[in-house]
Amino acid sequence: MLTEQQLHGIYLPVVTPFLPGGELDLESFHKLSASLVSQGINGLVVNGTTGESPTVNCEELSLLSAAAKSAIGAANVPLVLGTGTNDTRASVKKTELAGKLGADAVLAVVPYYNKPSQQGIAAHFRKIAEVGLPVIVYEIPARTGVRMEADTVRAILEIDGIAGIKDCSGSLELFRALQASGHHKPVLCGDDTRLLEFMEAGAAGGMLVSAHVCTEALLTIYRRFREGSVEEAHAMFDELIPLMNLMFEEPNPAPVKWLLAEMGKIAHGTLRLPMVEIGEELRGKLRRTGVLPGDALVL
């Protein structure tokens, strides 16, 4: 099982490739996951938001988990399965399934849409933690419609079995409030362009969509920063920011799936409704970044 000491570095919330008809493309998923593991990512996250978790059922999650474990092989890379929903009982059952599938930890998002109270959010995570698998709390108010207060997060982090938090709150405010209160469980930055900002404040790393296409660069940036080569890390990171911004110009994971398909890393960029493929304008912008084979960088 995942330890707090393992919750550091660059974690990759992997996409779920689909065939043109919408079925799982397990061949592409295995190929992509194995490639990411071989490049040295620190953790593989399956069935997160980037993996289109709202459209993936439990049978498909089992198939994805098996393929991910095969891709990881003997590598010392934790497997994290997304199990969070806005139904606590469903989240508990998915977390129980994750344990049976051999996951090292689960990623559980703050309940979305039904806008629970702060007490309800804490009770939700307490129930999930009772399953016995390490839980990474996922705070992303832009998608959930509710924002956790710092006191709520502190209470949740005190629960046995809560390993840390993925912070997509949009600023350092929550992280700094946690630090001020003396809580030191790992925090992973979930906002790609804020990685170094968070690490300078003491974050353990990031869970980053852009690591699909900038894997080696982000791993190098993380290492350089940890080694003390902060200016070099910033110089490298600044070069990635325009691409990162474009990858979120339309809703994730549509841009990264299109890029991965164009790069030949997955067979198709298919998404399941209500997600749709990116438009021609964004495709043109992404081509002009020079990240695709044969495309020239346009400044």
pLDDT tens, position by position, 14-52:
999 999 999 999 999 999 999 999 999 999 999 999 999
| pLDDT for position 295 | 54
Specify the length of the chain in residues.
299
H helices of the chain, in order, are 26-38, 58-72, 88-100, 118-129, 141-144, 150-157, 173-180, 195-200, 215-227, 230-246, 254-262, 280-287
* H/E stretch holding 252: none
β partners of residue 44: 12, 79
Give the sign of the dihedral formed by CA 9, CA 148, CA 85, CA 213.
negative
Please state, as a whole number, how many other Cβ atoms lie within 10 Å of the Cβ of residue 158.
Answer: 11
| pLDDT for position 293 | 75
Report domain extents, the chain: 4-231
Q: Say whether 262 sits in a helix, a strand or coil.
A: helix
Could you tell me the CATH superfamily of domain 4-231?
Aldolase class I (3.20.20.70)
| pLDDT for position 296 | 43
| pLDDT for position 145 | 96
The catalytic position among 31, 94, 166, 185 is: 166
Q: Residue ranges of the chain with pLDDT lower than 50?
A: 296-299
CA separation, residue 249 to residues 67, 190, 220, 254, 255 (Å): 30, 16, 25, 10, 8
The catalytic position among 11, 31, 138, 257 is: 138
Q: What share of the chain is helix, strand, coil (3-state, %, to 5)?
A: 45, 10, 40
The answer to whether residue 138 is catalytic is yes
Given a contact cutoff of 8 angstroms between Cβ atoms, the answer to whether 216 and 224 are in contact is: no
| pLDDT for position 297 | 44
Q: At what angle do helices 230-246 and 215-227 cross, to 10 degrees?
A: 150
Considering only CA atoms, which of 138, 129, 117, 132 is closest in space to residue 45?
A: 138
The answer to whether residue 112 is catalytic is no
Number of helical (H) and strand (E) elements in the chain, helices listed first: 12, 8
